[in-house]
Amino acid sequence: MGPATGMANDVSEPAQCLTMADFGAFERRYRLYHRFPSLTRNDAASTPVAEGWVDECRPDLGISLVGSRLTIHHTYETHALADAPAHVSIIVMLEGQAELMHGEKRITLSPREGVMLSNDGSCPLSARHMGGQRLRAINLTLLDDARTAQSRLAEPLTELLTSATGGAWRLALPEGLLSSLEQWLNAPGAGTSHTLLGEGLGLQLMAHGLAAKENAPTGQMDHLGVRDRHHLARVRECLHDHPDVSHGLDSLAQLACMSPSVLREKFRQAYGQSVFEYLRQRRLEMAHDLLREGYSVQYVATRVGYRHASNFATAFKQRYGLSPRALHQRLSLTGVVHTP
């Protein structure tokens, strides 16, 4: 999911500057809404969230291939509205990083990684793009209309679009295809040849997505039992409620009634990230909330389980696009700084 899928820009043109206000057009067109954790309403018209180029190619009905080349200045989140149409998305990250939430699954996409997501409209879908990074990504979206436009896709799309809960499959893309995507992304976004190349790349991505689905292990197909889900939820609840504790995999495995290796595997199956990736995420989210309440940086770092404030500051800036001290100083101008 990208910010600017309503724009088509030739990369030979000057980079476009996108503010919070510009994102409103994307929301209306693509049934999205956005959150900007580090910005306020006063920043809407003047503060650049990102700048760069986005190229949108529509080779056929119901098919859209979007390439993004952006420098992101401020972290933002993209959320699909509840009434968004059923669709299949294939997202390939060429540079930068993004965090996706697909139902309860959290998926981190790093450079040269891809994922296929199916969503029947009932599965919450969102993405977080961290500030302070360059982002180059490809997003292939197929709507229901693509089944009639491309007869060869009718059967697999029917299965994916009518899935009861949706699914997520990581893609192992060959270097040749990644290089072709790079070339398409860097080429001017105009003309019949560019559209035909986009169509060919889109079909290759869909082929790799279907192969990943067919070859996926049983566990990746959401076949965790009720008992497993119950115990995994208990571990996640423990991490959520006590992020300041120095958790160990052995003790968490006892809580889950599993061996450490089984917990590691099944937790990732259920939530799309490792146990300790989830813990780190929870600590930073809690830290963000405490800073917004006006607590000091040192207090917050200790409160959420960081022994060293410098490690906390580095992790926080990677996630939110600004340092905890910068956020604290900005908020202290209008709020009350607590002294615990």
Burial class of 205 by CB neighbour count within 10 A (0 to 12, 13 to 18, 19+): buried
How far apart CA 326 and CA 323 sit, in angstroms, is: 5
**Backbone phi and psi for residue 171, each to the nearest 5 degrees, phi listed first:** -110, 135
Q: Are residues 169 and 242 in the same domain?
A: no
**Backbone phi and psi for residue 164, each to the nearest 5 degrees, phi listed first:** -65, -40
| Sheet architecture: strand order including 98-102 | 32-35, 76-80, 125-129, 98-102, 105-109
Q: Are residues 92 and 130 in the same domain?
A: yes
Q: Are residues 55 and 125 in the same domain?
A: yes
Structure tokens at 166: 């949706």
Contacts 24+ apart (CB under 8 A), 304-311: 304/243, 304/244, 305/243, 305/244, 305/245, 305/246
How far apart CA 170 and CA 107 sit, in angstroms, is: 9
| Sheet architecture: strand order including 133-143 | 16-19, 48-60, 63-72, 133-143, 87-95, 113-119, 167-171
Backbone Cα Rg of the chain:
21
What's this model's pTM, rounded to 2 decimal places?
Answer: 0.65
Q: Are residues 289 and 303 in the same domain?
A: yes
Q: Is 140 a member of any domain? A: yes
Q: Is 4 a member of any domain? A: no
Q: Are residues 165 and 101 in the same domain?
A: yes
Q: Is 260 a member of any domain? A: yes
Domain stop point among 170, 193, 221: 221
Domain stop point among 188, 221, 254: 221
Q: Are residues 64 and 189 in the same domain?
A: yes
Q: Are residues 245 and 283 in the same domain?
A: yes
Which residue reads 């030739």 in tokens?
10
Start-to-end Cα distance in the chain: 40
Q: Are residues 101 and 231 in the same domain?
A: no
Q: Is 50 a member of any domain? A: yes
Q: Are residues 201 and 280 in the same domain?
A: no
How far apart CA 105 and CA 223 sit, in angstroms, is: 14
Q: Are residues 216 and 233 in the same domain?
A: no
Q: Is 1 a member of any domain? A: no
Residue 216 belongs to domain with CATH number: 2.60.120.10
pLDDT for res 267: 87
pLDDT for res 6: 38
Q: Is residue 204 helix, strand or coil?
A: helix
Domain count, the chain: 2
Q: Is 5 a member of any domain? A: no
Residue 305 belongs to domain with CATH number: 1.10.10.60
Q: Is 198 a member of any domain? A: yes
87-132 pLDDT, tens digit per residue, is: 889 999 998 889 898 887 788 888 888 999 988 767 788 999 988 8
Which residue reads 């029917």 in tokens?
158
> In one letter, which amino acid is 100?
L
Question: Where are any strands of DSSP class E within 96-204?
Answer: 98-102, 105-109, 113-119, 125-129, 133-143, 167-171
pLDDT beneath 50: ranges in the chain: 2-11, 164, 218-222, 336-339
Kindly write down the DSSP assignment for every residue of 247-308, as one continuous string.
--HHHHHHHHTS-HHHHHHHHHHHHSS-HHHHHHHHHHHHHHHHHHTT--HHHHHHHTT-S-
pLDDT for res 139: 94
Residue span of the structural domain in which 324 resides: 226-332
Q: Are residues 56 and 31 in the same domain?
A: yes
Q: Are residues 20 and 109 in the same domain?
A: yes
Domain stop point among 169, 191, 221: 221
